[in-house]
Amino acid sequence: MITFAGMAYPVAVLGALGLAFGALLAFASIKFFVAVDDRVAKIRELLPGANCGGCGYPGCDGYADGVVNSGAKTNLCAAGGPSLASGIASIMGVEGEAAVPMRVFLKCKGSPDFSVRNAEYIGVRDCRSAAIVPGGSPNSCPFGCIGFGTCAKVCVFGALSIVNGLVRVNPNKCVGCGTCAATCPKSVLKLIPRSSEIQVSCNSNWRGPDVKRVCSAGCIGCGICVKACQAGAITLSANLASIDGTKCTNCGACAAKCPAKCIGSAAPEEMRKSA
Amino acid sequence: MSVLLLFIDAIFVHNILLSRFLGCCPFLGVSTKSDTAKGMGVAVIFVTVLAAVVTWLVYNMVLVPLHLEYLYTLSFILVIAALVQFVELALKKINPVLYKSLGIFLPLITTNCAVLGVAVINMKEHPDSLLEASVNALGASIGFLLAIILMAGIRERIERNTNIPRCLHGLPIALVTAGLMSIAFMGFSGIIK
């Protein structure tokens, strides 16, 4: 039979236990009080929260902490862009440095239409695995995009896809964090300023005749574009032309002269219309 | 049973995850990367041993003398939750480095059934000795660390294997793996009599 005393007794004991622990915690919260900088929480709120790691810190929490406590720059978050950088700068009370908005670009045109396949690869479908087999790639060109989409897997913004054996970048989704470029075993993805429209679509260091043997869309290192460029934005090193997007005026003179037709618009056709 | 045998028994024979099936949620949830698995395992060792000592004291010094043994579940949960909160506050002040490395795992463990499970097992199997109870807790939590690191290593490799049918990707293949690991750990069952 349930009596009042029979019920009150355990309730009182448990209540006393709870009260004791509550008092202990209350005491601890005063005794072990640690001042937290509220700017960390404010900056964390502004950050996109994708935890892409493009800033070089482990996730957005790490970056917010880094800005306040270890003097990280305010413009490191590529995903947030300039508006975020100025927001962080105003919280920190410093003059913000302008961030150049970047995006990623694939330096390769070697789809099966242009480039011959060397071998059939039946291992793990991951570029990093395919890149360590003898020959460096299932493609005949060891510098080009392997096309297994490891970069697309690591992209948290869903900006990359595989189309016709090559990575396609959606510039509207790409924030320029550079995670894919760091993952690619062929380093065929390159960060370029968002304003850059003309780029060299090749990554091969081979001499012209060797490039021609494996790919009909590759840079042969002839140097015609270097002479054609009025802005001095193009350099030729190791048989490969490279356009500096910050100097380039997007005039298109190099693209018109390129005999290999590997200089051209940096964004795919349909993307340019929507952008 | 000697203390050393008890220790080995808690790690291998009665592994908290693979033989007693306690704490399966972090075992599957936090085992995708070996770094985070390590963090979780270390945090579990820390909390389980502390909680085992305190719950043993609360049970034998408070509940038994007052004839309220049936309230053990409620009071153990209270004790563990308060303890984890307290440890978190104290660590933040006393040892910020350890606090950072345990990170998010510390508050997560508050409701981990492995921690409560060890406390209950201690109450039933080692009511007389605080030493036995704490050694059992240490062994059980090291067993947890061992199992979750093994699991994370296997899952990291599975992740890159594309021969697995699509329907088994992620959690299903992890559950199958956990089952196979459990069967493998049954092999330890005869080593201690």
Please give the pLDDT value at position A270.
Answer: 46
A166 contacts A175 by C-beta, under 8 angstroms: no
Please give the pLDDT value at position A43.
Answer: 87
In a domain, B158, yes or no: yes
Please give the pLDDT value at position B88.
Answer: 83
Please give the pLDDT value at position A273.
Answer: 46
B176 touches chain A (CB under 8 A): no
B58 touches chain A (CB under 8 A): yes
In a domain, B193, yes or no: no
Of A10, A28, A32, the CB nearest to B71: A10
Mutate to test the interface with B, among A7, A9, A11, A21 (most CBs of B within 10 A): A21
Residue A224, helix vs strand vs coil = helix
Please give the pLDDT value at position B119.
Answer: 92
- Reference A78, options A191, A239, A204; nearest CA is A191
Query: Which tokens in the block code for residue A141?
Result: 């060109």
Say yes or no for a CB contact (<8 Å) between B161 and A124.
Answer: yes
Q: Which residue blocks in A3-118 are alpha helix, DSSP H?
A: 4-31, 38-46, 59-69, 81-92
At B133, the amino acid letter reads: A
B179 contacts B33 by C-beta, under 8 angstroms: no
Please give the pLDDT value at position A1.
Answer: 67
Residues B87-140 have pLDDT tens digits of 888 888 877 777 777 766 777 787 788 899 999 999 888 888 899 999 999 999
Band (pLDDT 50/70/90 cuts) for residue B144 is very high
Q: What sign does the dihedral B87-B90-B95-B100 (CA atoms) show?
A: positive
Q: Could you tell me the CA-to-CA distances from A144 to A212, A223, B101 in Å, in that order?
A: 14, 20, 40
Chain A residues inside the 8 Å CB shell of B66: 13
Residue A226, helix vs strand vs coil = helix
- Reference A229, options A215, A220, A221, A241; nearest CA is A241
Chain A, window 27-56: residues with a beta carbon less than 8 angstroms from a chain B beta carbon: 28-29, 31-34
Band (pLDDT 50/70/90 cuts) for residue B1 is low
**Side-chain half-sphere CA neighbours of A219 within 13 A:** 29
Residue A61, helix vs strand vs coil = helix
B92 touches chain A (CB under 8 A): yes
Please state the domain count of chain B: 1
Residues A149-166 have pLDDT tens digits of 899 998 888 899 988 888
Q: What sign does the dihedral A271-A272-A273-A275 (CA atoms) show?
A: positive
In a domain, B167, yes or no: yes
Q: Which residues of chain A have pLDDT under 70?
A: 1, 96-99, 267-275
Q: Going from the N-terminus, what domains does chain A have, and what CATH number goes with each?
A: 42-92 (1.10.15), 102-269 (3.30.70.20)
Chain A residues inside the 8 Å CB shell of B92: 32, 34
CA-based nearest distance A117→chain B, Å: 22
Residue B163, helix vs strand vs coil = coil
Q: Which residues on adjacent β-strands are paired with residue A106?
A: A189
Residue B169, helix vs strand vs coil = coil
Q: What is the ipTM of this complex?
A: 0.71
A165 contacts A112 by C-beta, under 8 angstroms: yes
User: What letters, b where the CB count within 10 A reaches 16 and e where it falls short, cover A96-120?
Assistant: beebbebbbbbbbbbbeebbeeeee
In a domain, B172, yes or no: yes
In a domain, B189, yes or no: no
B104 touches chain A (CB under 8 A): no
In a domain, B166, yes or no: yes
Region of A116 (left: φ > 0; alpha: ψ -120 to 50; beta: rest) is beta
Region of A65 (left: φ > 0; alpha: ψ -120 to 50; beta: rest) is alpha
Residues A178-192 have pLDDT tens digits of 889 888 999 899 888
Mean pLDDT for all residues in chain B:
87
Residues B34-45 have pLDDT tens digits of 888 888 888 889
At A57, the amino acid letter reads: Y
Of B78, B86, B161, the CB nearest to A17: B78
Please give the pLDDT value at position A274.
Answer: 44
Q: Can you give the residue range of the structural domain that contains B76? A: 3-184
Q: Residue B65: closest CA among chain A residues belongs to which residue?
A: A13
Residues A106-137 have pLDDT tens digits of 998 888 777 777 778 888 888 888 888 887 78
In a domain, B106, yes or no: yes
